Copies of this chain bind each other. A is one copy, B any other.
Amino acid sequence: MSTAPPLLSTMMDVPLTVQSILERVRTLYFAREVVSLMASGKDEAGNPVPTVHRSTYGEVAVRALQLANALTSLGVQPGDRVATLAVNSYRHLECYFGIPAMGAVLHTVNIRLHPDQVAWILNHAEDKVLIVENLFAGLIPAIRAACPHLEQIIVMGEPAQSVEDVLDYDAFISGFSEEFAYPDLDERQAAAMCYTSGTTGNPKGVLYSHRSTVLHSLVSAPKDALNVGEADTVMAIVPMFHVNAWGLPYTCALSGAKQVFCGMFSDGKNVAKMLEQEGVTITAGVPTIWMGLLAELDRAQQAGTPYDLHQLQSLIVGGSAAPEAQIRAFQTRHHLTLKHAWGMTETHPIGTVSNLPPGVSVTSDEGFTLQAKQGRAVPMMGLCLLSDEGEVLPHDGKTMGRLMARAPWVASSYYKGEGQANFIEIGGKLWFDTGDIATIDARGYMHIQDRSKDLIKSGGEWISSVDLENALMAHPAVAQAAVIAIEDPKWDERPLGVLVLKPGADAPSHAELTAFLAPKFAKWWLPDAYEVVPAIPIGATGKFLKRELRDQFTAYKAAGTAVR
């Protein structure tokens, strides 16, 4: 290799920043709508009532700049962390722009965490200001007591009970100028922060940069990724406190797409209603959301009052894998296309999107098979598979390996240098160990087989719990299925199927389930036993808590169970 000094280009040194996305919506897309479903009072049963709030990018941009001035007045400086504890809404979107634009760090906190965990995270991140949705105002006294470094708490919307020593978001920002002098930023500066709750140890923080936020938006927009443009209306149901709602608020703003937020109303009925009413073209959420939507669409269809969702082009599904049965149900019964995307908090999150190659139809068997995979890497995203011995494995669609990722929007470490074991050098380059076990085929389609910790290691071979679960969920009696490892004296581990039945369904026999799965799997993959449970425990990001199931069935003996 040469030691000659490289010739530098004559290109401008212009940093990639969230400021430029904000300026873009302010000057080009100011008239595009931002629609939010807000909780407004309660009905007779004490449930919050949804009300539609309409705003525009122009208004959001102006208020974001007012917020930047307001936070500056509180002493917030570039590099300071400002936390949000909020649902998806126009006000949260204002925080997405105003906080990074002033060089501060938008720290979105998961509202589903236990208050102790929220306080732990706020303390670890050393947040200076906390912006709380009125819905969660009840947490404020406890948080304030546990987080002495918090200098100010701001409440978005009218709180149900009165809280002392807080500022009202709308009233506070309205007093500030709509002009803001952007500070010069280094594109590697942190723009946003999100904690990921691993299965072991404390939550770990990932700091997204301005550069990574812009690049992530650019690779997410094209038609073989999320296909977002100015004519689109996008409803991110995935929460804004979870990996920046998969980056959609920025991707949509960069592209000029109208944004719709359903706030706390993510049940099938409200989702279906908003999709129809706002002419949504793209929506995004976890499989649980789509399960609720599918039930509502089925119900409405059977009632002879189907929703008109002809504008809806894709339902992006991520967080965990959508079963092929769900993908087929949406396509065949409602002509709606579920599109897998894969990623993690550490990958910003978009790593892959499962668009079909030219010539493959969404309604063909090949199409369904490919759509059940997580898809192909977006540009600049490197993926590879490692064996337990650290060898790089082939992309043949069969060989399972630990999925490693490398891109300008992938974490190189956690905040304060924690969790270094997840970052590994391969061939002199740093890669992130996703903790997933996957295959990659010759065309680049990546297929998650399992979380490495959920993989069942039987007789020295690997069994994918996810594959078995997806197959089981296609059984007419099965609503949900989780497959976990149980200890086995001979094979080390063997699979146990844990099932939630559909309402009114009878538990199928072990023999029937074995016969149902047999055509699709090697014999030694089939579960040794099944257990029926009323519900599978779900974590704060909507995924099965298999660790809890394993604890529950730790001394499991297959003989003599209900289903066997």
Contacts and interface: CB of A to CB of B under 8 A. Distances in A.
A74 to B, nearest CB: 13
A552 interface: no
20 contacts: A4-B79, A6-B190, A8-B190, A8-B209, A9-B189, A9-B208, A11-B211, A11-B412, A12-B410, A12-B430, A13-B408, A14-B406, A16-B380, A24-B379, A215-B218, A222-B223, A223-B227, A224-B255, A230-B355, A230-B358
Interface string A163-193: 0000000000000000001010110111100
Contact of A357 (B103, B183, B190, B230): B230
Contacts of A2: 77-79, 103, 183
A105 interface: yes
Contacts of A4: 77-80
Contacts of A1: 78, 181, 183
A540 interface: no
Number of copies: 2
Contacts of A15: 408
B188 A11 contact: yes
A200 interface: no
A561 interface: no
A5 interface: yes
Contact of A11 (B79, B209, B219): B209
Contacts of A410: 11-12, 14
A121 interface: no
Interface in A90-134: 103, 105
Nearest to A415: B10
Assign chain A's interface to a size class.
35 or more
Contact of A9 (B23, B188, B229): B188
A318 interface: no
A451 B532 CA distance: 76
Contacts of A12: 406-412, 430, 432
Contact of A212 (B9, B209, B227, B380): B9
Contacts of A221: 222
A214 B380 CA distance: 9
Contact of A8 (B189, B206, B214): B189
B229 A224 contact: yes
Interface string A201-218: 000011111011011011
A39 B394 CA distance: 41
Contacts of A509: none
A414 interface: yes
Interface string A1-44: 11011111111111110001101100110000000000000000
Given A4-B79, A24-B379, A411 B222 contact: no
A63 interface: no
Contacts of A209: 8-9, 11
